[in-house]
Amino acid sequence: MLAKHDLLLKSAKRQVDRSKWHCCDHCKYKAFTEEALQRHLKRMHNGGGKGTEKAADVADANECKKCGKTFASAMNLRIHVKAVHLKTRDLKCESCTYATAYRSQLLQHMKVI
Ligand SMILES: [Zn+2]
Ligand SMILES: [Zn+2]
Ligand SMILES: [Zn+2]
């Protein structure tokens, strides 16, 4: 009796899952899994991004949108944008008013004084 009840619950749950389709934003395509939708996006809509010509792969992910320079890591890109384009200097010397965007420059400065 209990087992049968369990089975009913399980099949009901499965039906809920089955109705959870992943819908494509660009056309009427529906996929059962997230992976299938991603594959569809890649194939049919250039990765589903903002209409860029080449599908953005991981290697292009760390490209500066302002000057096109690419970086080995997302952190290097962030530092570059901060220092070169935003001109932010948020690493400050504790002993004077010196400020820089680069940790290495701050360390160099600390060595000098
Ligand atoms: Zn689509
Ligand atoms: Zn840049
Ligand atoms: Zn200083």
pTM for the full predicted model? 0.41
Which residues have C-beta within 8 Å of that of residue 93, sequence separation ≥ 6?
Answer: 99, 106, 109, 110, 113
| Mean local confidence (pLDDT), 54-81 | 81
47 in Cβ contact with 41 (< 8 Å): yes
81 in Cβ contact with 64 (< 8 Å): yes
| Mean local confidence (pLDDT), 24-40 | 91
- Taking the centre of ligand 2 as the mean of its atom positions, its distance from the CA of residue 28, in whole angstroms, is 38
- Taking the centre of ligand 2 as the mean of its atom positions, its distance from the CA of residue 56, in whole angstroms, is 18
**In the prediction, which pLDDT does 112 show?**
77
36 in Cβ contact with 27 (< 8 Å): no
- Taking the centre of ligand 3 as the mean of its atom positions, its distance from the CA of residue 81, in whole angstroms, is 24
Is the pLDDT confidence value at 50 over 70? no
- Any idea which ligand is nearest the CA of 93? 3
**In the prediction, which pLDDT does 56 show?**
47
**In the prediction, which pLDDT does 61 show?**
78
